């Protein structure tokens, strides 16, 4: 019997859970715009009739997680009772059906809450697919014929920059040397950088201590949050440069705090600390603004990095087209899952922009490593100037946490997308009825 | 006692309701992308301690309305217990607090579900404000000192195109002749165009009949949905042109169905029917795409119109900056309410682009007329080449429906934003427990 007609591969349930960790209590993850994040996620579990499960999630910051969960529930009717192979074999078509549902698309389209919900569902489907194939997602992607991989992508609205035929050709370009890179990856892993040293809420002493720790762990690239006030930015840049020296890399991140002209002035005044990039200098929607900032900072050899809050492939397309980003920071949970992220990698390759993924949060490191590793083996064929963000948070909550060795991500070996949470974590942090929230009801700060 | 310290002006409740009309049963409102809309809204009611109420809404298409409602509920804590005058006197600051809540902004920011929720709340606040002042919103805006009006706007991310000082100057430019235009408005109203003749789901006969009807009603501009298949577009354009002649205006609307190059080719092939504009030729997020289409269609004298699904002022800024729209179609329920829409009008004025608002749906005509009338009296000071979309749907559901005379919107006279629904309409169409939905449970088509 064809798998597509085999009843046991029918998706019989989709559950979504609102899970929140009280990270705001420590100031972890704080930046100029997000002063008190409670790292959270909407966690989706799909179950086949034969019992196989797939897990996916999208990252949130606490309040509002219930809104995204409600969007997942609104899409449930598009998934339930479908044979999963029928989905995988027509994945581009399914992806469009999910993102273009004739009534739901009005409240997006393809952005914000509904697209986060799509990401959670799509990530769960890829986890399921990889488990069924007995491979980690990066390997599933690497082993896929270019034509099959490209068939998972919806090229609507990006065909003026890339066509399926071009995408297939890009994937074939370096295929002869794939094994070489795969072996390198298994041996050496993929370079990480750390954001752990410079959260906005951290004291100078804590920053100093963390720089030392991460140097000892072999890190060579360090990211610092900036943008709240200029004097403190200078002080913090100085502390990091004194700690890491000039042979290592410093990146700075403003988390959208500035207007365009203010960004240009502020960053030029920090240029003496030689940051490799300024990340999110202004609104994630301002393509032309980022292009202006990029142009103004070029003489100072400072690149612009953005993407973690870029809404979809259409926005990425324009950032890439217009020289508005020198570092493309795809996020594994904001745009509509792997299918759409693959299209961004392909456009970045064609337009010659380096992809340095956003990670951290909940499960972002776990997921995005798969994609960047596939890119190295199958598409860009180089690690040069590329690295994956690393933050040491919430990994212990997962069944298959990332493994870092010598400041490198080591390729996951377990089948799936590394997205499965421990049942104990769910029991503890499920909101509002998990054991932590029940025990601490009323002791945490009020909702705003 | 100062009003800001007067307890009776405290907002003591905010309720939100999910209301859906089964419009998909008739094919009203259908287009190339939205094949079966059930016109719906999230309806917000604010109540002061003194009993005064304000009503606001955001338009949706059926499924997903509950998601937007959940976002409204997530913002409740920012509104409840606030003195409304404290909000109105620092409206720009309040608006930013609502749109930049440190945890909620992650699931936007300022786009999709959360921004629709903001619109519903902000619209209710303006309705409340205008009622307290005993004026319709357009009059409230017209009578406002430029400095006060500008203080309601958050200029974050748009200061590279317009500053508060420039905005004040633009508002002062034509203030000497305001009374003249106000009198003209009261006498003659503001021109409307009709979209009623050409929904995608309508038969050729129905289109012909409607063209005749609307000509008799003195309409001179007619909009037709296109984009599903080329042959039928040609046939429908021909029918409308034969019915309305060449002395009247035809506009065509593709509702985002095409990719960039496809849009250019398709519209050039329809150029012989001399449409004034092509509306929404491609993704509402594709600024550079719209700029390319605008450039390609310029030789054919066809403008590009878009904006009804433009996410926020930052996106509008770029469309206006880059020549990507020749007709700016603000929507009164998608971007974050009046405060943000005012900033779009100001940028359009500065960059010399005509504003022709999107309307129809539920309550969009009722609301947007106020804004366009204010623009005429206080800002653009001209009706030339401008008009407001008009669709004859759902008006009877409102307490103060639009009044059309000689194909013109007549200025509303009742205090407020014309947003109050009849209680009978709420009782009938509240979802899923309104009397219509209970009586027809199971008789309508399934959820997808």
Please write the tens of the pLDDT for every residue from A145-204: 999 999 999 999 999 999 999 999 999 999 999 999 999 999 999 999 999 888 888 899
Residues B65, B121 within the same domain: yes
Q: Higher-confidence residue: A308 or A4?
A: A308
Residue A447, pLDDT score: 46
Q: Which band of pLDDT confidence, cut at 50, 70 and 90, is reported for residue A32? A: confident
Catalytic residue set of B: 225, 358
Work out the burial of residue B18: count CB atoms within 10 Å of its CB; fewer than 13 is exposed, 13-18 middle, 19 or more buried: buried
Q: Which band of pLDDT confidence, cut at 50, 70 and 90, is reported for residue A31? A: confident
SS3 assignment, position B382:
coil
Give the model confidence (pLDDT) of A39-86 as tens digits: 999 999 999 999 999 999 999 999 999 999 999 999 999 999 999 999
Look at residue A431 and tell me if it is in a domain. Answer: no
Mutate one of A97, A99, A160 to test the B interface: name it (highest B CB count within 10 A): A160
CATH of the domain at B107: 3.30.390.10
| Closest A-chain CA to B72 | A67
Look at residue A383 and tell me if it is in a domain. Answer: yes
Residues B212, B353 within the same domain: yes
Residue B443, pLDDT score: 62
Look at residue B155 and tell me if it is in a domain. Answer: no
Q: Which band of pLDDT confidence, cut at 50, 70 and 90, is reported for residue A222? A: very high
Domain boundary among A134, A161, A180: A134
Residues B295, B283 within the same domain: yes
Give the model confidence (pLDDT) of A108-152 as tens digits: 999 999 999 999 999 999 999 999 999 999 999 999 999 999 999
Domain count, chain B: 2
Residues A185, A129 within the same domain: no
Q: At what angle do helices A287-297 and B287-297 cross, to 10 degrees?
A: 100
Residue A309, pLDDT above cutoff 60: yes
CB A358 within 8 A of CB A330: yes
Residues A268, A351 within the same domain: yes
C-alpha separations of B439 from A116, B1, B19 in Å: 35, 52, 15
User: pTM (2 decimals)?
Assistant: 0.97
SS3 assignment, position A333:
coil
Residues A217, A325 within the same domain: yes
- Alpha-helical segments (H) within B134-203: 137-143, 146-151, 164-173, 178-188
Look at residue B88 and tell me if it is in a domain. Answer: yes
| Closest A-chain CA to B334 | A107
CB A40 within 8 A of CB A20: yes
| Closest B-chain CA to A74 | B64
Look at residue A439 and tell me if it is in a domain. Answer: no
Residue A8, pLDDT above cutoff 90: yes
Q: Do B67 and A71 touch (CB under 8 A)?
A: yes
Residue A448, pLDDT score: 40
Residues B205, B286 within the same domain: yes
Write out chain A residues lying below 8 Å of B60, CB-based: 103, 106-107
Look at residue A115 and tell me if it is in a domain. Answer: yes
Residues A127, A15 within the same domain: yes
Domain boundary among A86, A110, A134: A134
Residue A444, pLDDT score: 59
Q: Do A103 and B38 touch (CB under 8 A)?
A: yes
CATH of the domain at A199: 3.20.20.120
Q: Is A225 a catalytic residue?
A: yes
Q: Do A105 and B33 touch (CB under 8 A)?
A: yes
Q: What value does the mean pLDDT of chain A take?
A: 96
Residue B204, pLDDT score: 93
Residues A82, A183 within the same domain: no
SS3 assignment, position A252:
strand
DSSP codes of every residue in A371-392? HHHHIIIIIS---TT--EEE--
Q: Do B100 and A33 touch (CB under 8 A)?
A: yes
CB B111 within 8 A of CB B311: yes
Measure in Å the smallest separation between the Cα of B33 and chain A Cα atoms: 6
Range of the domain at B16: 3-135+425-438
- Indicate the pairing of strand A354-355 with strand A327-328: parallel
Residues B15, B82 within the same domain: yes
Measure in Å the smallest separation between the Cα of B120 and chain A Cα atoms: 13
Residues B376, B434 within the same domain: no
Residues 6+ apart with CB under 8 A from B234: B270
Residue A200, pLDDT score: 82
Note down pLDDT in tens along chain B; length 448 residues. 789 899 999 999 999 999 999 998 877 777 878 888 999 999 999 999 999 999 999 999 999 999 999 999 999 999 999 999 999 999 999 999 999 999 999 999 999 999 999 999 999 999 999 999 999 999 999 999 999 999 999 999 999 999 999 999 999 999 999 999 999 999 999 999 999 888 888 899 999 999 999 999 999 999 999 999 999 999 999 999 999 999 999 999 999 999 999 999 999 999 999 999 999 999 999 999 999 999 999 999 999 999 999 999 999 999 999 999 999 999 999 999 999 999 999 999 999 999 999 999 999 999 999 999 999 999 999 999 999 999 998 999 999 999 999 999 999 999 999 999 999 999 999 999 999 999 998 766 544 4
Residues B284, B366 within the same domain: yes
Per residue in A282-317, is it b (16+ CB within 10 Å) or e — as a string? Answer: bbbbbbbbbbbbbebbeeeebbbbbbbbbbbbbbbb
Measure in Å the smallest separation between the Cα of B374 and chain A Cα atoms: 28
DSSP codes of every residue in B67-105? HHHHHHHHHGGGTTT-BHHHHHTTHHHHHHHHH--TTGG
Give the model confidence (pLDDT) of B92-115 as tens digits: 999 999 999 999 999 999 999 999
Q: Do A157 and B37 touch (CB under 8 A)?
A: no
Residue A443, pLDDT score: 62
Residue B447, pLDDT score: 46
Token pair for A149: 């991989």
Q: Do B74 and A67 touch (CB under 8 A)?
A: yes
DSSP character for B401? -
Look at residue B156 and tell me if it is in a domain. Answer: no
Average pLDDT over residues A273-290: 98
From CA A23, how far away is CA B315, in angstroms rounded? Answer: 33
Look at residue B142 and tell me if it is in a domain. Answer: no
């Amino acid at each position: 019997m064809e798998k597509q007609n085999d009843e046991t591969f029918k998706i019989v349930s989709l559950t979504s859970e609102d899970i929140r960790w009280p990270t705001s209590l420590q100031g972890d993850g704080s930046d100029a715009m997000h002063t008190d994040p409670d790292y959270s996620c909407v966690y989706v579990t799909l179950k086949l009739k034969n019992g196989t499960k797939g897990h996916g999630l999208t990252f949130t910051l606490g309040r509002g997680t219930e809104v995204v969960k409600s969007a997942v529930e609104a899409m449930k009717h598009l998934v339930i009772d479908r044979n999963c192979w029928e989905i995988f074999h027509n994945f581009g078509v399914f992806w469009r059906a999910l993102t273009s549902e004739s009534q739901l698309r009005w409240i997006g389209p393809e952005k914000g809450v509904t697209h986060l919900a799509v990401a959670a569902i799509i990530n769960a489907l890829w986890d399921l697919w990889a488990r069924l194939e007995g491979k980690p997602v990066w390997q599933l992607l690497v082993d896929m014929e270019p034509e099959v991989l490209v068939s998972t992508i919806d090229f609507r609205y990006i065909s003026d920059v890339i066509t399926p035929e071009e995408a297939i050709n890009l994937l074939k370009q370096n295929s002869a040397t794939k094994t070489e890179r795969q072996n390198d990856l298994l041996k050496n892993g993929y370079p990480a950088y750390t954001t752990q040293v410079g959260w906005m809420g951290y004291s100078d002493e804590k920053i100093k201590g963390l720089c030392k720790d991460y140097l000892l762990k072999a890190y060579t690239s360090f990211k610092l949050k900036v943008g709240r006030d200029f004097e403190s930015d200078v002080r913090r840049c100085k502390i990091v440069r004194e700690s890491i020296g000039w042979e290592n890399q410093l990146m700075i991140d403003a988390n959208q705090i500035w207007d365009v002209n203010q960004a240009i002035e502020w960053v030029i005044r920090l240029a003496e600390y030689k940051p490799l990039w300024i990340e999110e200098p202004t609104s994630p929607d301002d393509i032309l603004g980022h292009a202006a900032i990029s142009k103004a900072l070029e003489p100072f050899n400072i690149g612009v990095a953005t993407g973690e809050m870029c809404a979809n492939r259409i926005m990425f397309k324009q950032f890439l087209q217009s020289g508005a980003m020198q570092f493309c920071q795809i996020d594994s949970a904001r745009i509509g899952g792997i299918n759409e992220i693959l299209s961004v990698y392909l456009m970045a390759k064609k337009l010659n922009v380096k992809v340095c993924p956003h990670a951290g949060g909940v499960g972002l490191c776990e997921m995005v490593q798969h994609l960047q590793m596939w890119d190295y083996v199958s598409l860009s064929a180089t690690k040069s100037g590329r690295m994956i963000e690393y933050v040491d948070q919430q990994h212990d909550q997962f069944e298959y946490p990332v493994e870092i060795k010598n400041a490198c991500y080591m390729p996951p070996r377990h089948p799936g997308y590394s997205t499965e949470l421990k049942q104990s974590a769910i029991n503890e942090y499920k909101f509002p009825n998990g054991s932590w929230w029940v025990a601490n009801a009323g002791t945490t700060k009020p909702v705003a």
